[in-house]
A and B are shown apart, each in its own frame.
Chain A
Amino acid sequence: MTSEFVNEGPARIAFQSRGSCTIITLMGEIDLSNAARVEERILDGRNGALSYVLEMSALEYLDSAGLAMIDRLHREISGMGHTLRLVAPAGSIVHSVLGFAQLSGLSIEESFDAPGEGAGL
């Protein structure tokens, strides 16, 4: 099940449940103007999944406010004992920003194949 995309300033967010995994797709741009609201949307959208994927293949911009957002999401999610994975293709601006930041305990995957509907992770 994929939710409709919701707009948050220049960004769009969608949630998709696959078994015990929730895929959060981010599109558009995340900067100082919307990072805090995107973070809220993501935290509100949590649904008891055990693992989360931030799918940012189509995200066109991410600045330091966005980095801080991911950092806090990571702390929040791992604090509950759940896992967070990041997906951003090599060569993208998002990939270079994440690579620069070297967020501890978080690795960047270049692509992500969503597991089939209903498959548990």
Chain B
Amino acid sequence: VSEPGNPVFPEEDLAVLEILASRAGIAFENARLYEREHEIATELQSAMLPAELPRPLGLRFVARYLTAAAGLRIGGDWYDAFSLGDGRLVCCVGDVVGTGIRAASAMGQLRSAVRALAATSAGPAEVLERLDSFATSVEGGRMTTLAYVEIDPQRNLLRYACAGHPPPLLLHDGKVRLLEAGRSAPLACFRTSKRAEAVEQLPTTASLILYSDGLVERRGEPFDAGLERLSNTVMALARMDEGIVEHIDELVERMLEGLVQRDDVCVLVASGVERRTFHYDLRADPNELRPLRQALREWLSENGLAGDESNRVLLATGEACANAIEHGQRFDGRAGVSVDLDLEADGELTAVVSDKGSWRPPTGGNRRGRGLPLIRFSMESFELDRSDSGTTVRMRRKLAMRGDA
């Protein structure tokens, strides 16, 4: 700024510089505050999303949440999934109007309210009715949209209601359908009609996809075009080997491809787990027990079983196989043992272990005398079927469903 050869600033230049410096200071301070708010809102929002999704029998939940791209203010999207304690589950995705800390805090309050109301309401429409008055009292709660779905895995039914939210998507047999019934206005806004809800069949292997508009909306494109893009993308991914649950990242990636400035994006998928049966063949060799347990542990965990329930199944099956191996060894070292487990949606587990040897009470009292008592301890019922062609042990137990915990 100073003139060459003259190190002293002219008076008028100094005045300009001072103004410039103070303006720049304010701008920098604003940018810093803005960045800090963005940080706080992001943190607040992630703290308010569920730390863990339920893992009930026969169902898998996965969710993805992407905050708005840098430079955009964080919105108030949220997702949630929880158990009602009677085998039914609720999943929902909502979207609070507005951005920043205020939206994140409204979102947190509404999410808690949904959980509290769900347990004491007769169904989705009543949950929305009661949320209306709550949302009115929450700062920034008005005009919140919400897709609310109640899943009853035992009766293969779902009940749902949408308050101004884009329709959930149902995927079954490679085909998709938008659940467009059960619609009513956003929360806490003027409306003349009652809250609606709808019932839908939920085949065991179907998947339900809930999302926020950030996934489908693109500037300059009609909303329906976005829904169609979503349907096509889901169908394309469903044609691959694994279920849509395994492809959730790809789904998000494909839907957002080419978008420079995106909004918050929230996706929640609930998928029926097909693999409820377990089959394993082993030779009559004790060294085969460990690989069997590894496979069984994996299957149990895939079906949402852990802790004591899982341990009991491992123990009972292991003991029955150890018995079968001892028979097999006595008669023919190459004789095989087969293990079949079957898990019903209500938690009823049946385990069948059969071998080709004929039954003998476990011998060598010292060696494995507690095998049978251990099976009885681990399971609720135990039957033994002996014939010339082999022995079959059939065990049953009603397992507590973790989603109900």
Contact = CB atoms under 8 A, between A and B. Distances in A.
B368 A29 contact: no
Contacts of A96: 308, 311-312, 315
A33 B367 CA distance: 12
Given A9-B287, A29-B293, A93-B314, A64 B307 contact: no
Interface in A18-62: 29, 31-33, 61
B318 A63 contact: yes
B325 interface: yes
Given A97-B374, A100-B374, A10 B290 contact: yes
A10 to B, nearest CB: 5
Contacts of A101: 370
Nearest to B321: A32
A68 B369 contact: yes
Contact of A64 (B308, B312, B369): B369
Contact of A61 (B312, B314, B374): B314
B366 A68 contact: yes
Interface residues of B, number: 25
A13 interface: no
Contacts of B293: 29, 61
Contact of A32 (B314, B368, B369): B368
A101 B312 CA distance: 14
A79 to B, nearest CB: 15
Interface size band for A? 20 to 34
A31 B289 contact: yes
A93 B296 CA distance: 15
A72 interface: yes
A64 B378 CA distance: 12
A91 B322 contact: no
A108 interface: no
Contacts of A9: 287, 290
B322 A64 contact: yes
Nearest to B326: A32
Contacts of B304: none
A65 interface: yes
A92 to B, nearest CB: 8
B85 interface: no
B174 interface: no
B374 A32 contact: no
Interface in A74-105: 91, 93, 96-97, 100-101
Contacts of B315: 63, 93, 96-97
Nearest to B322: A32
Nearest to A33: B286
Contacts of B368: 32, 63-65, 68
A14 B192 CA distance: 75
B377 interface: yes
B370 A33 contact: no
B371 interface: yes
Given A65-B368, A72-B366, A31 B318 contact: yes
A9 B366 CA distance: 21
Contacts of B80: none
Contacts of A93: 311, 314-315
B77 interface: no
13 contacts: A31-B286, A31-B318, A32-B286, A32-B368, A33-B290, A61-B293, A63-B318, A67-B370, A68-B366, A68-B369, A68-B370, A96-B311, A97-B374
Q: What 6 A-B pairs have minimum CB-CB distances, sorted nearest first? A: A33-B286, A93-B311, A32-B286, A64-B370, A64-B371, A32-B322
Given A64-B319, A68-B367, 10 more contacts: A9-B290, A63-B368, A64-B371, A65-B367, A68-B370, A91-B307, A93-B311, A93-B314, A96-B315, A100-B374
